[in-house]
Amino acid sequence: MAAPSKSKPAPWTNRRRRWRPEGSLAVVTGASSGIGRELTLLLAGKGCRVIAVARRRERLEELVAEAKRLSPKAEVIPIVGDVTDMSVRDQALEQVRVLGEGKLDLLVNNAGVGGIGRFMDADPERMRQIMEVNFHAPVEWTRGAMEMLRNAANDFPTRQCTPVICNIGSVLGHRAVPEKSEYCASKFALHGWSDSIRAELTSDGIAVVLVSPSTTKSEFFDSLVGTEAGQKSKSFGSWPADRVARAAYAAIVACRSEVILSLGGKALVYSDRLTPPLVNAILARTIENAD
């Protein structure tokens, strides 16, 4: 009888999944303010080189200076442009080729926009624009970066660092609310897509982390798409952006599949899982009362 073959274990088995900042290379989109800015500073301070992407050049220049001020060895490489423009993605990935020999350890799809107001009162362009930035852009940045993430995964035995795709979602990607239909749709799409590719990429040794913040103090509500002036978000409490960034960082390091942030956020998501009809009724009442 033939002896059982001692085939080599598949590279992803017996691996303790973990991510390390030291000596890593990351791409963070939406790095010019809020969560993306804070996460960039955190990563850079811990020895990760960060390719920081956003449209506002002066904000990125300020970010580079701030990172150096906090930690003289910090390396933040700015790429100015719109995440929906694939030539901007290609510029960022070219930097990965040059600086990281084609290996990318972390992609943070963070750039995002919102909009407030009833679906039927909105210009159809609001849906298109929000879906482009919040969903199609992360999809295409991930597609473009995949080969480089796989190159980093193949380096696991040497570096003991699992490459991570971190998508910044929202609690509204778990439970939708009225008057943010476009935003909820975009974050639900991001959530579903993240769950699906997480399973697909397990065999490649790449982790997919979905971070779902609740209301966060940032510039988010200053740049709403297709929204009448004076429209306010109906949300309770908020976390500062640096707290959200620290929670996202912890999730990345531990290669967590999903984190839902804040007590209010967890209350919304878990009460909906327990009793969706009750949450539907409460949300419908908030709209009726506003009429």
Ligand X SMILES: NC(=O)c1ccc[n+]([C@@H]2O[C@H](COP(=O)([O-])OP(=O)(O)OC[C@H]3O[C@@H](n4cnc5c(N)ncnc54)[C@H](OP(=O)(O)O)[C@@H]3O)[C@@H](O)[C@H]2O)c1
CB contact at 8 A, 86 and 137: no
* Long-range contact pairs involving 240-243 (C-beta distance under 8 Å, separation at least 24): 240/216, 241/34, 241/35, 241/37, 241/38, 241/216, 241/217, 242/38, 242/42
Nearest to 256 by CA among 173, 192, 196, 198: 198
Provide the Cα torsion 87, 90, 92, 98; round to 10°: -140
Nearer to ligand X, 18 or 59 (CB): 59
Cβ of residue 241: shortest distance to ligand X, in angstroms? 6
Size of the site for ligand X (CB under 6 A): 30
Residue 226 to residue 117: CA distance in whole angstroms: 9
The catalytic position among 183, 188, 239, 249 is 183
Residue 248 Cα distances to 52, 197, 261, angstroms: 16, 19, 9
Residue 183 is a catalytic residue: yes
Nearest to 40 by CA among 72, 75, 73: 75
Which of 95, 142, 162, 216 is close enough to bind ligand X by CB under 6 A? Answer: 216
> Per CB under 6 A, does 167 bind ligand X?
no
Cβ of residue 80: shortest distance to ligand X, in angstroms? 8
SS (H, E, C) 115-184: CCCCHHHCCHHHHHHHHHHHHHHHHHHHHHHHHHHHHHHCCHHHHCCCCEEEEECCHHHCCCCCCCHHHH
Site for ligand X in 221-260 (CB under 6 A): 223, 241
Which of 90, 101, 219, 228 is close enough to bind ligand X by CB under 6 A? Answer: 219
Nearer to ligand X, 129 or 150 (CB): 129
> Per CB under 6 A, does 82 bind ligand X?
yes
Which of 218, 225, 259, 283 is close enough to bind ligand X by CB under 6 A? Answer: 218
Site string for ligand X, 36-55 (x = CB under 6 A): x-----------------xx
> Per CB under 6 A, does 35 bind ligand X?
yes
Cβ of residue 106: shortest distance to ligand X, in angstroms? 16
Judged by CB under 6 A, the stretch of 6-14, 42-50, 210-218, 246-254 that binds ligand X is 210-218
**Both tokens assigned to 74:** 């910090």
Cβ of residue 54: shortest distance to ligand X, in angstroms? 4
Residue 118 to residue 131: CA distance in whole angstroms: 16
Q: Is 153 left (phi over 0), alpha (psi -120 to 50) or beta?
A: alpha
Nearest to 208 by CA among 132, 145, 263, 136: 145
Cβ of residue 202: shortest distance to ligand X, in angstroms? 25
Nearer to ligand X, 162 or 218 (CB): 218
Cβ of residue 134: shortest distance to ligand X, in angstroms? 6
Which of 30, 100, 115, 205 is close enough to bind ligand X by CB under 6 A? Answer: 30
Nearer to ligand X, 101 or 195 (CB): 195
Residue 118 to residue 252: CA distance in whole angstroms: 35
Footprint on this chain of ligand X (rule: CB under 6 A): 29-36, 54-56, 59, 82-84, 110-113, 133, 168, 170, 213, 215-216, 218-220, 223, 241
Could you list the active site residues? Answer: 183
